[in-house]
Each structure stands twice: as structure tokens, then as C-alpha cells.
Amino acid sequence: MSQTVTLIPGDGVGPEIADVVKTCIAALGVDIDWDIQGAGTAMIKKENTPLPDRVLDSIRSHRIALKGPVETPVGKGFRSVNVRLRQELDLYACVRPCKFYKGIQSRITAPEAIDLVIVRENTEDLYAGIEFMNACGAENPFLQFLKEQKGIELGCDTGISIKPISVSGSERIATFAFEYAEKHGRKKVTAIDKANIMKFSDGLFMKAAETVSQKHPDIAYEHKLVDNMCMQLVQYPEKYDVLVLPNLYGDIISDLAAGIIGGLGVAPGANMGTEYAVFEATHGSAPDIAGQNKVNPTGMLLSAVLMLDHMNEREAAIRLEQSIAAVIKDGRHVTADLKTTASPDPPAGTREMGAAIVEKINAL
């Protein structure tokens, strides 16, 4: 029976990578009916918004979406499409697997054992947008509040961002991380924060993760401070499995982890909530190479692997991942960013790399 999935090709290179995904999924024999929805800068002229309501309606109706990158217009007063999607659909968990594939150049000496999943809280923390500008008086009443209520006197040149972290939000993301670990045969969850310094926000996150860990005795649990974790991921990335973090550290550690497996071009992602899931590559719209058949489709294809797994199309997910891995390892039909210095062949175009993956799918 066919399943309908919302497909948002997005801006820049988005339509090129969306085409490759559609071709590969058709080759896998998974019957998906794509509900294609335009979003991004092209929609601003046509519909006066980069995220028309019909896109949200489509995701609410089909519950699953695959999304290409969308540009956030700078200084035009539009809210980020990605932030709005997360808020409107309560996509509280950002999942970023970081696994090394042979054939990709990594600066780590033994990258083969890297196979991490980063679970980032998506709604709270310093990203909640509660900010006060550097001014005194009505524009920054928080300075007055601090002076009157706490006796803390800060200068009028001080800007303030508030870091809200709740027990409910922290337990919700920790539960997601442990349940993800159980479902995917993972062994350990590491909670990461700076609880030694920020006791009421990060300390609360740490305690919430500990509480949740006690309900999941089959999964090992440990706690690490975020500064130490940055060093650990560069020196001993193979020691880690599932990482769970508040929003800001999650954002930073996700890119660090993508860096050790070869960059954002090969990193997939998913934003998930209790009702809806939106799968997307982690790179942007790459306007410098848009429309040139140069973009590496791996990030979007690996996001489709996550989507198929979520749809319980386990066999198709494994076959797609193995086909992508085989083409990357072979190294002859990969885009320029994946070419090693030793490779004698010219880089493949996006479509040619997609065709090589389809060939592997048909051979497996």
C-alpha cells in the first residue's frame, strides 16, 4: 500500500538532491506517493511567505516529511522556516547520526569505528529567544529587575540572553534518547552539559537525565562535561554511542561530530516530535553550486535512510545505506567534495552519483 510523504525540495541545490532521493526510493520498490510542497525564498514572491500554511497542513496530514535546505532571508523580517517548523510541529528532538563511511577523507587517524547518534533538545535553552538588548530603561527592564530583586548591578552596555531549561523538557529529551538507544540496539547514553557551573539549568538537565536513566537499566549511562566532551570526540570518538544534550551544546557538538566523519555534506538529520517527523540533510542550500549538477546527495539520501527506518521499511533502509556506502567506498562515481587526492578519475555529477547508487540498489 502506498504511503504519502510530504516532500519539500527547498532552495538552491534542494531540487537536485530531492530528484536523486526520489529515483533511489523508486529503485528500492518502496511505494511512496510524494506530496511536493514548495517552501523557501521562491515562495516569498508568490505567496508572501517562505512557509505557506499549506506546507504545515500537508505535514500534519501525512505526519512525515523529507525536506531540502531552505534559505532564511537576512534582514527581511521573515522568521526562519526551520525554526517555525520545529515550533509549529513541536519537533522537540533533533537526531543527527554521525557514522564514518570508508572512502571519505577524515582528519581523524582511525575513523572507521565512529558511529555516534546525537540527540539534541530543540525547543529550550539559549535558543528560546528570550533576550534583552544592551540598554538601560524600558528597552532592558531585566537590568532593573536584577538590581532591585537580586542586588546585581550590571552596566547599560550589557546584553542578556536567558537560558530556560525545564525538568519536563529535559526528561522528555532524555526519554527520547534512551528509547532511541533501545530501539536501535545501542548500548550507552552519555548526557552532556556544564552542570558544574550552571547548577540551576545544566544541573537540572543532568539530574533529569540520571532520573530517566534509572528507568532504562539495560542501557549504560554516563555524564560528561561539554568541554571535556569536545576533546573526547576528537581523541576517542569510538568510545561514544548515543549523546543527549541541551539545545546550544547539541548544535555545536553536532557540527564537531560531522567534522570528524568528513563534513556536513555527508551528515543526515531528523527533527522529531511525538506526532510528526521531518527528515533533512544538515547542509544548507549551497547557492554557489546550485543548478550545476555538483552537489553531493549523500546527506539527503542518508536522511531518507532514517525516514525509511522510521516508516518501518527496515530492509529498504539497510539496502539504501549499503548502496550509498558501496559507491563512496568505490570512489569512482562520487562528487568533487568526496574525491580523495589519490583518485585518478574526474568527479561525478550529482545525477551520475545517483545513477551509480541506483545500480548498486538493483545489484543488492
Nearer to ligand NAD (CB atom), residue 213 or residue 335: 335
Applying CB under 6 A, does 306 fall inside the site for ligand NAD? no
Nearer to ligand NAD (CB atom), residue 201 or residue 296: 296
In sequence order, what are the residues at sequence separation of 6 or more whose Cβ sits closer than 8 angstroms to the Cβ of residue 271? 85, 86, 91, 93, 94, 95, 122, 277, 278, 279, 280
Selected from 25, 289, 308, 361, the binder of ligand NAD by CB under 6 A is 289
Please tell me the distance from the alpha carbon of residue 257 to that of residue 215, in angstroms, as a whole number. Answer: 28
Check if 251 is active-site.
yes
Backbone angles phi, psi at 135, to 5 degrees: -160, 160
Contacts 24+ apart (CB under 8 A), 341-349: 347/294, 349/293, 349/294
Total residues in contact with ligand NAD, by rule CB under 6 A = 19
Stretch that binds ligand NAD, among 158-166, 175-183, 224-232, 295-303 (CB under 6 A): 295-303
Applying CB under 6 A, does 153 fall inside the site for ligand NAD? no
Please tell me the distance from the alpha carbon of residue 301 to that of residue 315, in angstroms, as a whole number. Answer: 15
Applying CB under 6 A, does 9 fall inside the site for ligand NAD? no
Check if 227 is active-site.
yes
Stretch that binds ligand NAD, among 99-107, 114-122, 140-148, 284-292 (CB under 6 A): 284-292
Check if 150 is active-site.
no
Selected from 66, 70, 258, 320, the binder of ligand NAD by CB under 6 A is 70
Nearer to ligand NAD (CB atom), residue 105 or residue 235: 105
- Active-site position among 193, 251, 309, 337: 251
Cell of 328: 563512496
HSE-CB of 204 using CA atoms within 13 angstroms: 17
Residue type, 147: K
Cell of 113: 569505528
Active centre residues (catalytic)? 127, 194, 227, 251
Enumerate binding residues for ligand NAD (CB under 6 A). 69-72, 82, 264-265, 280, 283-289, 295-296, 299, 337
